[in-house]
């Protein structure tokens, strides 16, 4: 049985000119687990790190923003068969900088209704469902 990978995930939001919430997503590189799928940025909790420290470090490294504040959204446990993940998911709506993918992956701002056209990892489906039921 595989060990679970603990991941801190940031649902980065902004309000556009028409006062609609948009969400920043990156596309996983093809050569990684769940490659080619869109995701909310984040990364693995390292030994000795708190979830908050991981989220701050990963969002700085991956998308070049500094979190000023965030709030917990949910925790998801998912088994892909070849890998188990535990996602600690946070809404990140207060940050310095403009998010931009730093690891060569595609990026974009999307409205909730546009999510229906995108391919996400299975574990992200619960996040998307929660956002549709309780949009920001």
pLDDT in tens, 75-85: 999 988 888 99
Segments forming the whole domain that contains residue 66:
4-133
Considering only residues 33 and 105, tell me which one the structure prediction assigns the higher pLDDT. 105
Q: Is residue 68 a contact partner of residue 95, using CB atoms and an 8 Å limit?
A: yes
Number of compact structural domains in the chain: 1
Task: Write the CB contacts of 115 (distance below 8 Å, at least 6 apart in sequence).
Answer: 23, 128, 131
pLDDT of residue 2: 61
pLDDT in tens, 99-116: 999 988 899 999 999 999
Distance from C-alpha of 29 to C-alpha of 61, rounded to nearest angstrom: 16
- What letter would DSSP give residue 53? H
- What letter would DSSP give residue 97? S
Q: Is residue 89 a contact partner of residue 72, using CB atoms and an 8 Å limit?
A: yes
What's the whole-model pTM score? 0.91
Which pair of tokens denotes residue 60?
Answer: 């700085």
The arithmetic mean of pLDDT across residues 2-20, rounded, is 91
Give me the CATH number covering residue 53: 3.90.79.10
């Amino acid at each position: 049985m595989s060990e679970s990978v603990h991941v801190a995930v940031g649902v980065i939001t902004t309000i556009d000119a028409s006062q609609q919430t948009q969400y920043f997503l990156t596309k996983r590189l093809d050569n990684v687990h769940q490659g080619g799928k869109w995701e909310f940025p984040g990364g693995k909790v390292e030994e000795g790190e708190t979830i908050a420290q991981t989220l701050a470090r990963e969002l700085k490294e991956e998308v070049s923003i500094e979190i000023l504040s965030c709030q917990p959204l949910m925790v998801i446990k998912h088994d892909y068969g070849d890998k188990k993940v535990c996602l600690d998911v946070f809404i990140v709506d207060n940050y310095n900088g403009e998010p931009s993918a730093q690891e060569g992956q595609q990026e974009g701002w999307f409205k909730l209704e546009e999510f229906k056209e995108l391919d996400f990892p299975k574990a992200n489906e619960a996040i998307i469902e929660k956002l549709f039921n309780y949009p920001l």
